């Protein structure tokens, strides 16, 4: 189980990382997160959409209503140039944290 604090801290870089490969709608993002995490990150609509709205307000993503392959209209989100720069910054920060933890935990047997 992943703590709420860690889930909250990781939503931004995860969403930006998903959108770097192309536009997605909310449910796709939720399903992708669940799949890549092996089910340990089980996001809800109530958690995702406020983050998407904040990222859009901050200029990191844009949204557009489009008709899906099934014929339903969905709100698709995509990364802006500013969002791509923010993803680079997030990646540097998370890799620094990961590196420090890996060094600290190396001598600790799991």
Given a contact cutoff of 8 angstroms between Cβ atoms, the answer to whether 43 and 33 are in contact is yes
Q: Give the CA radius of gyration of the chain.
A: 16
How many residues does the structure list for the chain?
110
Q: Set out the domains of the chain in order of their start, with CATH numbers.
A: 4-105 (1.10.10.10)
Per-residue pLDDT 10s for the chain (110 aa) are: 789 899 999 999 999 999 999 999 999 999 999 999 999 999 999 999 999 999 999 999 999 999 988 899 999 999 999 999 999 999 999 999 999 999 999 877 66
Task: Note the pTM of the prediction, 2 decimals.
Answer: 0.91
């Amino acid at each position: 189980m992943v703590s709420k604090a860690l889930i909250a801290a990781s939503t931004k870089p995860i969403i930006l990382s998903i959108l770097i490969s192309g536009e997605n709608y909310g449910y796709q993002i939720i399903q992708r997160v669940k799949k890549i995490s092996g089910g340990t990150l089980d996001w809800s609509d109530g958690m995702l959409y406020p983050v998407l709205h904040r990222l859009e307000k901050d200029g990191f993503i844009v949204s557009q209503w489009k008709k899906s392959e099934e014929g339903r209209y969905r709100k698709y989100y995509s990364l802006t140039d500013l969002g791509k720069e923010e993803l680079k910054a997030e990646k540097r920060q998370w890799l620094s944290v990961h590196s420090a933890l890996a060094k600290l935990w190396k001598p600790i047997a799991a």
